[in-house]
Amino acid sequence: MAGDSLTAPQQISTLESSDFLADVIAGLSSSPRTLPCKYFYDERGAMLFQKICELPEYYITRTEIDILDRNRTEIASQLGPNVELIGLGTGAGTKTRILVEALMDPAVYIPVDISEKQLRESTALFQKIFPDLEILPVCADYLQPVVLPTPNHKPARNVVYFPGSTIGNFEPNEAMEFLRRIANVCRENGGLLIGVDLKKDQDVIEAAYNDRAGITAQFNLNLLAHMNREVGADFDLDQWRHRAIYNSSAGRIEMYLISEVDQFVYLDEHKFHFRRGEKITTEYSYKYAPEGFAALAGKAGFEFVRMWTDNARLFGVFYFMVTT
């Protein structure tokens, strides 16, 4: 994102498969091997993630929803009237609906999401629920430059909404740079409402990523199926297993796909050799202490205003304003 750009046209557009191929080749050629977690969310991946959000072990979504629901009036008061709400990766829009219902005369809602199907469905739902609200969906990878559409009415200010603790998927230095770009989008007097998973007992965190029903394992392995279908890889899913561990020294969950056998995988003109037990990192998810995240956002140009949390302090919804 740069300037007022997070440049996709106003209509929903699709992502380039050539970018997917290039990212996969680069990731599998690196040491250690990695795959970008943004490619989890094909149609099946988005469906599996919805199931994950309903699991008893996965506290993140239900806790964030509860925080928003209990504090909706106060949150809306902080954001103020006539805002341009820019939602990054808002998915099905469950949390955003709570927010929009509480806002005072919002000017426009601009959801930016990588999943075209989910974006179309959530946009149609929002247009039905909020017929007077201008909604300008953008299907794009918000990690890349995305020019936001211009609303019909000038808002009082921009507020970026970034739910779901997705900020934890960034390395801390990358998170700070991403927050700087958001600050540029928000501009003077703008705000950022962001969900952050907080540091807590290791057993609670690890259980959330290693559910007994095996849905997270399916979600992780589906990344390989997505690659097979979209970029012509030939991963044998039966030869890979899911694993997620909490690295307490780094303060992050590390999610892997581990090769069960010595094997070769072919992709385009490339041949990748995997030893038995070799890992592909598919996701990092950093957990923050409240003061640590406030300090990180402060370095990116934001001033801490308020944090709402649950009784167990599992999760925090933070509100920042751009410093002038």
The string of pLDDT tens digits covering residues 299-317 is 999 999 999 999 999 999 9
The answer to whether 178 touches 308, Cβ cutoff 8 Å, is no
Q: What is the mean pLDDT of residues 146-172?
A: 93
Q: What is the mean pLDDT of residues 46-75?
A: 95
H-only helix segments in the chain: 17-29, 43-53, 59-70, 72-79, 94-102, 116-129, 172-186, 202-209, 215-231, 290-299
pLDDT band, residue 16 (cuts 50/70/90): low
User: CA of 220: how far to CAs of 23, 39, 93, 196, in Å?
Assistant: 17, 10, 22, 22
pTM tops 0.85, yes or no: yes
Locate tokens 């909020």: which residue?
130
CA–CA distance, 324 with 311 (Å, rounded to integer): 33
Inside any domain, residue 250: no
The answer to whether 280 touches 237, Cβ cutoff 8 Å, is no
Range of the domain at 33: 1-239+286-324
Q: Which residues contact 52 (CB under 8 A, 6 or more apart)?
A: 58, 211, 215, 216, 219
pLDDT band, residue 222 (cuts 50/70/90): very high
Inside any domain, residue 194: yes
pLDDT tens sequence across 84-100: 999 998 888 999 999 99
Inside any domain, residue 217: yes
Q: Indicate whether 210 pLDDT > 60.
A: yes
pLDDT tens sequence across 235-260: 999 999 999 999 999 999 999 999 99
CA–CA distance, 150 with 10 (Å, rounded to integer): 8
The answer to whether 261 touches 9, Cβ cutoff 8 Å, is no
CA–CA distance, 72 with 69 (Å, rounded to integer): 5
pLDDT at residue 244, rounded to an integer? 98
Inside any domain, residue 65: yes
pLDDT band, residue 7 (cuts 50/70/90): very low
pLDDT tens sequence across 119-145: 999 999 999 999 999 999 998 888 887
pLDDT at residue 142, rounded to an integer? 87
Inside any domain, residue 206: yes
Inside any domain, residue 260: no
Inside any domain, residue 132: yes
Q: 52: domain CATH number?
A: 3.40.50.150
pLDDT band, residue 9 (cuts 50/70/90): very low
Q: Indicate whether 106 pLDDT > 90.
A: yes
Averaged confidence pLDDT in the chain? 92
Inside any domain, residue 244: no
Domains in the chain: how many in total?
A: 1
User: CA of 262: how far to CAs of 27, 140, 217, 239, 241, in Å?
Assistant: 19, 37, 21, 9, 13
Helix 116-129 and helix 94-102: axis angle, to 10°? 30
CA–CA distance, 90 with 96 (Å, rounded to integer): 7
pLDDT at residue 220, rounded to an integer? 98
